[in-house]
Amino acid sequence: MLHVVFFEPRIPGNTGSAIRMSATTGATLHLIEPLGFDLSEAKLRRAGLDYHDLADVQIHADLDAAKAALPDARVFAFTAQTTTRYTDIDYVDGDVLLFGPEPTGLPPEVLDDPWVTEKLRIPMLPGRRSMNLSNAAAIATHEAWRQLGFPGGV
C-alpha cells in the first residue's frame, strides 16, 4: 500500500486528520520526529476521532530512520518549488508521499536528499503559499489510491 510521510509535523489537528485519512485509505502514516505536539494531545485525538486503532501509524526518530524503514520505495516530495504535478505520476504500490511541516514545507536538505525520487506540486492559484497539510496529503493519497484501483475500498 501507500506510505504517507510527515516530516516533523507541528499541528496536532493536521496529523489527527491524516490518521483518519490513513485509516480510511489503508495508507501507512509515518511521522518523523521531532513532532510539534504530544501524541496524546486532545486536538490530535479529536481530529482522528475513533480511527486511531484502525490506522497504521509509525514514528521515526529522524529522517535516517524513516529512510531505513522504506529503503527501496519511490519517494515523492511535495513542494511548491517545482513544476511537475502530482497527477503526472503513475503511482505504484509502496510509493512514499512525503510532506513537510507547517508552515515551512520541506527544507532544502530533505528536498535535495538522494532518497527523494521526484518533487511534485499540487496546483494552486497564483500568490498562494501552500495548502493545508492534511488536505494536501489527502488529495495526493486519493489520487495515488485511485490509480491503484482503490484496493480494499468499497
**Is the model's pLDDT at 11 over the cut of 60?**
yes
pLDDT at 48: 53
Is 134 annotated among the ligand-binding residues?
Answer: no
What is the pTM for the complete model shown? 0.94
- Tell whether residue 122 is among the known ligand binding residues: yes
- CB-based contact 79:100 (threshold 8 Å): yes
The answer to whether 100 is annotated as binding is: yes
pLDDT digits (tens, 9 = 90+) for 97-128: 999 998 899 999 999 999 999 999 999 999 98
Q: What is the pLDDT of residue 112?
A: 97
Cα of first residue to Cα of last residue in the chain, in angstroms, is 16
For domain 3-147, the question of CATH label 3.40.1280.10 is answered with yes
CB count in 10 Å sphere of residue 118: 12
On the question of pLDDT at 47 being above 70, the answer is: no
Cα angle 143, 135, 31 (rounded to 5 degrees) comes to 90
